[in-house]
Structure 1
Amino acid sequence: MQRITNISVADRAAPILRRQHALFQPRERGDVFALAYISSFLNSDGTVVAGFQPGYMRHSLSPARRGDMWMLAEPVGAPRFYFMPKFKWSADEHYLIDVASEVFELLSIG
């Protein structure tokens, strides 16, 4: 598993990440805090829910499902978390966790 340290948290995203970490409850014993990407949130008529923007939300990750596609992010001054990047990771770049949707407390990583 790749460990990511070239990542930081925007000031406005830090409270959301900390709150999501504090609210985390594992579904099963041994699960860890992760962020999972949510690409859509639709009304029953198929339209996008007002205020929704795709982003990462709190997720309970089982050790049995933690394959090579998951990475461990260790941002300075924020909780560490597992996630699946939506892009090719580069050790030469610096990445930022920011707010994707304040209404739904979704985060962006890029």
Structure 2
Amino acid sequence: MKLPMRFRILTLIAKKDTLSDVDIFEALKSEYGTEGQYRKSEIIMHLHSLRAAGLLEDCAVSLNEKGDLQESFKLTDFGRSRLNLLPRDWRDKIGVSGGRLTA
């Protein structure tokens, strides 16, 4: 069973501290690559929704070599606390205990 993509995005960022939209898109390919929701525009929409809800914040914004906007995000304390809503088996799988990542 897969996590909803928004929670999966939160777990990816939680494990790495900061990730760009491009890194997130690539990281999700193996899990969601065959689904209709696996489009860069959908992932960016999820990222912006998570930011608007206070779960993520921007940590860098730049233009890539093609002139496209590239954003990097990090988890807020509120976003980290929401990791407790994950099913227990997923918390164990990604190393989340009490909203905090473990080594």
Q: TM-score by structure 1 length?
A: 0.27
Q: Which is bigger in relative contact order (C-alpha 8 A, separation at least 6)? A: 1
